[in-house]
Amino acid sequence: MKKGYMKAAVFKDIEHIVIEERPIPECPSEGVLVKVNACGICGGDIRNYYNGLKDGIKDQIMGHEIAGEVVEVDPGVRRFKAGDRVALAPDVSCGECYYCKRGQVNLCENHRMLGTHFPGGFAGYIAVPKIVMERGFIEHIPEGMSYDHAAFGEPSSGVLACQEYNQVSYGDTVIVIGDGPVGCLHMEVAKARGARKVIMLARGRMKQAQKFGFEYIFSNKDPKEATNKVKELVGPGADIVICAVPNTAAQQQALELVRKRGRIIIYGGVPKSNPMTTLDSNKIHYDEIMILGAFSYPCTGLYHALQAIHNKDIHAEMYVNGKVSLDNIVNGMEMVTSGQAIKVVVDPWM
């Protein structure tokens, strides 16, 4: 590597990532320069790799589950100093729109992201500009936490916020449809919030999920059979059913599993080509079912997630079980897709 240059995984176009040598960015005015030590591969990164970045953006460094060390600080920055260990999350809100003015930054009309609108963390360094310092997410990593585990703060943030917003509470029966990292996170967070019975409906990644020691995991290979088995366990139905898989069949199944006046939470998108769903509206009406969406997190999201990992409510070490170099980033994505690993972290210095 030439002096002053770094390696970066650059999204050129659909299914086309190129490893380039790029100049190390300068420390932005009123910003910081962070040496990236870990950047998680998100389900969203994989979706973007196959479908393209938002707004048709190309020639961009992807990656948004970032942890690293501050190496340079603009004199205008007081919160951080060189040597600080920090975690970053992608969302950057505008501060001006209807939602931002009400503190609902996750719903910002002009929402931008690291790894899409700003260069992301699949690189040796990331410049954190003023707008991200002010309207994005950068937090100190708690003492003793590894960079790999800190990078898991971002995916944890959304799950914590979803259950806070939808008030998963003491004594609840919660069903999670989905066995990926997000499904496992929902299981852990529901338990931490005091849910009495937490049940997972799993498919291809059941073996991985079983390692968490959850009490109730059912195979969802045959959804009809699974629905019947779970119904026996939950009596009148679950208080809350969380759909954590990218398909609409889960939403229909959720409606069969939820109790009267129960809540169905749609967490995670389905393919953009066909987002439409069919639900029995009579059941929704007569049983007073609430169907809710949840996306991203408030400004406290990343801080709370790092605390939850630190307190072992979320066991980051159970998720992060793969590591690749920048050169092997596409391999890393395949490791996630195939179920070989739950969460793969890229180490740009490997």
Chain residues in the site for Zn ion (CB under 5 A)? 42, 65, 93-94, 97, 100, 108
CB atoms within 10 A of CB 291: 17
CB atoms within 10 A of CB 38: 24
| DSSP letter for each residue of 218-252 | EE-SSHHHHHHHHHHHHTT-EEEEEE-SSSSHHHH
| DSSP letter for each residue of 42-86 | PHHHHHHHHH--GGG--SEE---EEEEEEEEE-TT--S--TT-EE
- Distance, in Å, from the CA atom of 270 to the CA atom of 266, rounded to the nearest integer, reads 10
Shortest spacing between CB 96 and Zn ion, in angstroms: 6
**Contact in structure between 172 and 166 (CB atoms under 8 Å):** no
Is residue 117 helix, strand or coil? coil
Of the pair 32, 100, the CB lying nearest Zn ion is at 100
Shortest spacing between CB 52 and Zn ion, in angstroms: 17
- Distance, in Å, from the CA atom of 159 to the CA atom of 166, rounded to the nearest integer, reads 11
Of the pair 39, 255, the CB lying nearest Zn ion is at 39
- Distance, in Å, from the CA atom of 325 to the CA atom of 348, rounded to the nearest integer, reads 6
- Contacts by residues 282-287 (CB-CB < 8 Å, ≥ 24 positions apart): 283/255, 284/255, 287/258, 287/259, 287/260, 287/261, 287/262
Shortest spacing between CB 102 and Zn ion, in angstroms: 10
Q: Which residue is nearest to Zn ion (CB)?
A: 42
99 strand-pairing partners = none
At residue 342, φ and ψ (nearest 5 deg) are -85, -50
**Contact in structure between 238 and 261 (CB atoms under 8 Å):** no
Of the pair 31, 43, the CB lying nearest Zn ion is at 43
Of the pair 98, 286, the CB lying nearest Zn ion is at 98
Of the pair 44, 237, the CB lying nearest Zn ion is at 44
Of the pair 93, 173, the CB lying nearest Zn ion is at 93
Bridge pairing between strands 258-267 and 290-294: parallel
Shortest spacing between CB 154 and Zn ion, in angstroms: 5
Of the pair 169, 300, the CB lying nearest Zn ion is at 300
Of the pair 234, 308, the CB lying nearest Zn ion is at 308
